[in-house]
Structure 1
Amino acid sequence: MKRALAWGAPAAVLLLAAVLRLWNLGNPHSLVFDETFYVKDAWSLWNNGYESTWGDDPDKKFNAGITDGFTTDPSYVVHPQLGKWLIGAGMALFGADNSFGWRCGVAIAGILIVLLVMLIAQKLFRSTLLTVVAGGLMAIDGHAITLSRVSLLDNFVTLFTLAGFGLVLLDREQNLPRLMAWMRRRRAQLGDDAVGPTWGPTLWNRPYLILAGVAFGLACGVKWSGMYFLAAFALYVVVMDGLDRRRVGLPFWFSAAVLKQAPATFLLMVPIAVVTYISSWAGWILTSGGYYRDLVTAESGLRWSGPLSWVPDWAQSLWAYHVSAYQFHVGLVTPHSYQANPLTWLIMWRPTSMFYEGVNKGDAGCTFDSCASAITAIANPLIWWGGTAALAYLAYRLVRYREWKVGFILMGIVAGYVPWLMYLNRTVFQFYGIVYEPYMILAITFVVGLILATKDEYKRSTGIAILTVFGILTVLLSIFFYPLWSGMQIPYWYWHLHMWMPSWI
């Protein structure tokens, strides 16, 4: 029974996640929010190998099933191609005129995110109960559900960065035992109490770091924000290598980590990430029609000279494209009614409304005085605000106890949230926070584990009572908010009941 529960309970959570993301996924049968960019780009990319422009009034025609309106003229896009290839794969499988087809890719990514959260929780906490808690919270949260039901790129970034996070965790499990084994061999050679002046070994056999580099490279191939995860966790690996060396008794642990192991870590992670990222531009590289594809030619006068003159023309053109896209990203200050300052993301001040349709009685099947259909990326308030509180506690706990699990979880927040604080004046949205939501969930799970593990019987029983109430209310809130996450038609008054703050409207 124990073995059946260990497999059956997480499987049930995964099934629930799949139902909440796939049920009625094709509703509404129209491009919503930024689907107008990514879905049409995905389909032209799938057909031409590069993103193309569309004719007049393309959204209306596309919604009507006329999906061949793309031209061969290149379109200027500012995100790499991988996420759009994944969206296009669903369209190729189910039909470009099928709204389920253009959303199923992100839905599958959302289901896999729940699976990864559970696998990582099992590795971190070694508890089936905590694994189910982590997966269950991710499965029923509205922010995660909404981002799995609208064809945007952010779910793919979350999936690949979370995979990289898990792979770094697997590497961490192997690193310390290898250093300890090396120290045993060293002491066997020099005597039990002797180590000698040494930096210790350079650990090259770290396949999980190589795979983490691939995962972070794939994330960059969807959106450049994946680069922050590569940088953050490469630095994390170097720091933990140094601490592990100190733990096993190496005398020059700091200089060894920085001067000996860090270059090896760089070579294991970064080159493969770069190659993976460049490969994500394969459609643009292998065709000739993409935007800026032939910018640098012998006739253009833009070829590099000197030591870099050997670089192929396509690579020089790709670099020029990246410079242009970077300038677009950092200079994007176009006002939007649902933009949200990153300082407000953790309190969920301005969730993103991605679709809203209001009708009167008798229209579109409305049987009330007025009806509303909405897709709004409002997280389950108890999960999101509880996660924010848990993160604050973990920050305190890291300072006081210096626990590696706490630091590891917080590094996900450092990589996924902190970089956005550099762009307070840029046009950004609350839903970008999906990339760090798994680490909020893991923070909550960590706190739950502490409560369940306390040896004080009174504190434990009180904590379990609080957790039970929290769990019940969380499930009820997800049921209450689900219509606003899935585009269901509801009475207008019921929609308005969900607008807890003026900034949510």
Structure 2
Amino acid sequence: MGAAASARESRWAWWGPLLAMLVGGVLRFVNLGQIHRLIFDETYYVKQGWSLIQFGYERDIKDDLEEPDELFTNGTADVFGSAPDLVVHPPVGKWMIGAGEWLFGIDSSFGWRFAAALVGTLSILLLGRIAWLMWRNATLATVAATLLAVDGHHFVHSRTGLLDIFLMWWVLVAFYFLLKDREQARERLAVRWGSVADRSFMSWGPHLGMRWWRIAAGVSLGLACGTKWSGAFFLAVFGIMTVLWDMNARRAAGVSSWFKGGVFKDGIPAFFSMVGVAALTYLASWTGWFATEGGWKRDWAQDHPAEGLARIVPDPLRSLFAYHQEVLSFHTGLQNEHAWASNPWTWIVQGRPTLFFSRWPSQGEDGCTVSECTRYITSLGNLFVWWGAAIGIFIVLFLWLFGRDWRAGAALSGVIAGWLPWFLYQTRTIYSFYAIAFTPWLVLIVVTVLALILGGQEASESRRFWGRVIVVSYVLLAVLFFALYYPVYVGQLIPRTQWSLLMFLPSWT
């Protein structure tokens, strides 16, 4: 590829994903507050976000209020009592929701969902840039951004004030930073290893210096854990992945003791750069709880004096630890019947998408002009992403295990971190909407397969032409699917007969 062609490719690697982000962003923000009521679990996180803004910690709702959601929806902020609330998720995502409420007011459902729509929109561009770093192909970068923009699961989360979209955002940011670190580390290794005249005294290879991108990833993963504890799985998987990248780079460069070099010169510093930094970031995310006196179990340590070595731990940290023990007990023991609970086996094939909102007006009600109508919001993903990934995951797994394709491993990493751990909780009540955390990596799995179809520079012009035809056709079909299902992503009033056609699998209703 010539210099002019390379520059043009680089420009389109920005313009293509930017265009996908702009279109996806408009779709996410238009009529964002149309359903002016707390839907699904917004009843928890939207109110808790405002409590954080007001008090620095989450307060419980007043005991004598019968309809706190209606009062809050109508702009009545005074729904909180003075007692703390036992909340079972860390505060970062709720602070982000609260920021939108602070900007636009609590009587604005646009404000409740603003932060979710913002990070949902930005993640479209970010995934496009991630695809560029992985393939250096503007077409694939644009494809990745477009597929995320038209995925219904991502779209619905981008328009709802829940925590999981923020978990997805922070782990995706961390993934981008680690790709930048991979690129920079290889450049440093090439320069520093190439300048060594006598390599017999440096069997482990050179030090690669301060890894600022990796530290930034640690901060992002700390914020992910500060949104939901499941961010810790991404921290573990990404930490292993980035060290494996370093080991492979040392081996490819001809470092004789590449494994030891990877462990001691890369792995140990990586632990402190990622796990250490993430832990400090997570602790800092509780600043509101530390800085105030009313949070749940804030004064627990005063009533439970320390003994032995525990006396060296500050009381606020002991209280926070006791709080975390109670939350852990809640999460591991959560077992209750719920109509929309689903087994993780069904997630990737969209066996049981989560119902976020539904209304069933009859003729003459809510603008319904036929015998029966429906307003419905479901987290159903775009089947060209989800079913495509369900098939593609086997191809990508083969490429990783037998082809040693690092891109395939990177595409699988988010699925490994975001999906597989839930199989350990078969008896716990869990829902398919959790899958938003790894949705971008499902897109990357599809893009990995489309990259094979597209063909590389070595392919013939005819081969590449038909590859482009297939790839573009696939993306257009995904766009058409999104357009067809748009009414059940935004709660649009439609005839119930149309809704029945769209929800053609019994498990979707």
**Equivalent residue letter for 1:370:** E
Are 1:178 and 2:185 matched, yes or no? no
Name 2:238's counterpart in structure 1: 233
Are 1:15 and 2:16 matched, yes or no? no
Name 2:4's counterpart in structure 1: none
Residue 129 of structure 1: CA displacement?
A: 1.4
- Secondary structure, counterpart of 1:348 in structure 2: coil
Residue 261 of structure 1: CA displacement?
A: 2.8
**Equivalent residue letter for 2:362:** N
Name 2:38's counterpart in structure 1: 31
Counterpart CA distance in 1 for 2:339 and 2:177 is: 39
Name 1:494's counterpart in structure 2: 498
CA contact (8 A) 1:106 1:149 kept: yes
Q: Deviations over 1:352-409 (max 9, x none)?
A: 0010001011111111211111110001112211122222210011122101111122
Q: Deviations over 1:469-505 (max 9, x none)?
A: 3233221111110111111111111111111211000
Structure 2 residue aligned with 1:437, among 436, 439, 442? Answer: 439
Structure 2 residue aligned with 1:163, among 173, 183, 197? Answer: 173
**Equivalent residue letter for 2:253:** V
Counterpart CA distance in 1 for 2:54 and 2:173 is: 29
Name 1:293's counterpart in structure 2: 298
Name 1:132's counterpart in structure 2: 142
After alignment, is 407-416 or 312-321 more displaced? 407-416
Structure 1 residue aligned with 2:474, among 470, 480, 493? Answer: 470
Residue 77 of structure 1: CA displacement?
A: 0.3
Counterpart CA distance in 2 for 1:269 and 1:126 is: 27
Following TM superposition, the consecutive aligned residue runs of length 4 or more in structure 1 with deviations greater than 6 angstroms are none
**Equivalent residue letter for 2:104:** F
Counterpart CA distance in 2 for 1:197 and 1:184 is: 12
**Equivalent residue letter for 2:415:** I
Q: Deviations over 1:241-274 (max 9, x none)?
A: 2222222222222223224432111112222111
Superposed CA RMSD in Å reads 1.8
Going from structure 1 to structure 2, the CA distance change for 1:237 and 1:471 (only over 3 Å counts) comes to closer
Q: Deviations over 1:428-449 (max 9, x none)?
A: 1111111111111112122222
Counterpart CA distance in 1 for 2:191 and 2:131 is: 27
User: What is the number of residues matched between the two proteins?
Assistant: 497
Counterpart CA distance in 1 for 2:11 and 2:163 is: 36
Name 1:262's counterpart in structure 2: 267
Name 1:349's counterpart in structure 2: 351
Residue 195 of structure 1: CA displacement?
A: 2.6
Counterpart CA distance in 2 for 1:409 and 1:303 is: 49
Name 1:396's counterpart in structure 2: 398
Residue 461 of structure 1: CA displacement?
A: 5.0
Name 1:96's counterpart in structure 2: 106
Going from structure 1 to structure 2, the CA distance change for 1:67 and 1:197 (only over 3 Å counts) comes to closer
Counterpart CA distance in 1 for 2:414 and 2:335 is: 27
Are 1:119 and 2:115 matched, yes or no? no
Name 2:251's counterpart in structure 1: 246
Q: Deviations over 1:283-337 (max 9, x none)?
A: 111000011111111xx1x233222312111110000001111111111111111
Name 2:88's counterpart in structure 1: 78
Going from structure 1 to structure 2, the CA distance change for 1:148 and 1:197 (only over 3 Å counts) comes to closer
- Secondary structure, counterpart of 1:347 in structure 2: coil
Counterpart CA distance in 2 for 1:259 and 1:14 is: 41
Matches within 5 A, 1:274-353: 274-297=279-302, 300=303, 302-353=304-355
Name 2:507's counterpart in structure 1: 503
Counterpart CA distance in 2 for 1:28 and 1:198 is: 63
After alignment, is 395-404 or 139-148 more displaced? 395-404
After alignment, is 243-252 or 104-113 more displaced? 243-252
Structure 2 residue aligned with 1:218, among 223, 233, 247? Answer: 223
Identity value in percent = 41
Counterpart CA distance in 1 for 2:401 and 2:79 is: 57
Q: What TM-score do the two structures reach when normalised by structure 2?
A: 0.94
CA contact (8 A) 1:303 1:316 kept: no
**Equivalent residue letter for 1:448:** L
CA contact (8 A) 1:234 1:266 kept: yes
**Equivalent residue letter for 2:126:** L
After alignment, is 473-482 or 457-466 more displaced? 457-466
Going from structure 1 to structure 2, the CA distance change for 1:249 and 1:471 (only over 3 Å counts) comes to closer
Going from structure 1 to structure 2, the CA distance change for 1:446 and 1:483 (only over 3 Å counts) comes to same
Counterpart CA distance in 2 for 1:137 and 1:95 is: 33
Residue 465 of structure 1: CA displacement?
A: 4.1
Q: Deviations over 1:161-208 (max 9, x none)?
A: 00000111111112223223332233x1x2xxx534632334341111
Going from structure 1 to structure 2, the CA distance change for 1:468 and 1:180 (only over 3 Å counts) comes to closer
Counterpart CA distance in 1 for 2:290 and 2:69 is: 28
Q: What TM-score do the two structures reach when normalised by structure 1?
A: 0.95
- Secondary structure, counterpart of 2:160 in structure 1: coil
Counterpart CA distance in 2 for 1:262 and 1:330 is: 31
Counterpart CA distance in 2 for 1:482 and 1:177 is: 45
- Secondary structure, counterpart of 1:401 in structure 2: coil
Residue 142 of structure 1: CA displacement?
A: 0.4
**Equivalent residue letter for 2:127:** V
CA contact (8 A) 2:13 2:141 kept: no
Structure 1 residue aligned with 2:383, among 381, 384, 406? Answer: 381
Counterpart CA distance in 2 for 1:174 and 1:337 is: 48
Matches within 5 A, 1:447-466: 447-453=449-455, 455=459, 460=464, 462-466=466-470
Name 2:52's counterpart in structure 1: 45
Are 1:367 and 2:369 matched, yes or no? yes
Counterpart CA distance in 1 for 2:489 and 2:48 is: 25
Are 1:209 and 2:211 matched, yes or no? no
> Gapped runs of 5+ residues in structure 1?
none
Going from structure 1 to structure 2, the CA distance change for 1:199 and 1:460 (only over 3 Å counts) comes to closer
- Secondary structure, counterpart of 2:352 in structure 1: coil
CA contact (8 A) 2:52 2:58 kept: yes
**Equivalent residue letter for 2:210:** N
Counterpart CA distance in 1 for 2:16 and 2:273 is: 37
CA contact (8 A) 1:394 1:406 kept: yes
Counterpart CA distance in 1 for 2:474 and 2:264 is: 48
Counterpart CA distance in 2 for 1:378 and 1:467 is: 23
- Secondary structure, counterpart of 2:361 in structure 1: strand
After alignment, is 464-473 or 56-65 more displaced? 464-473
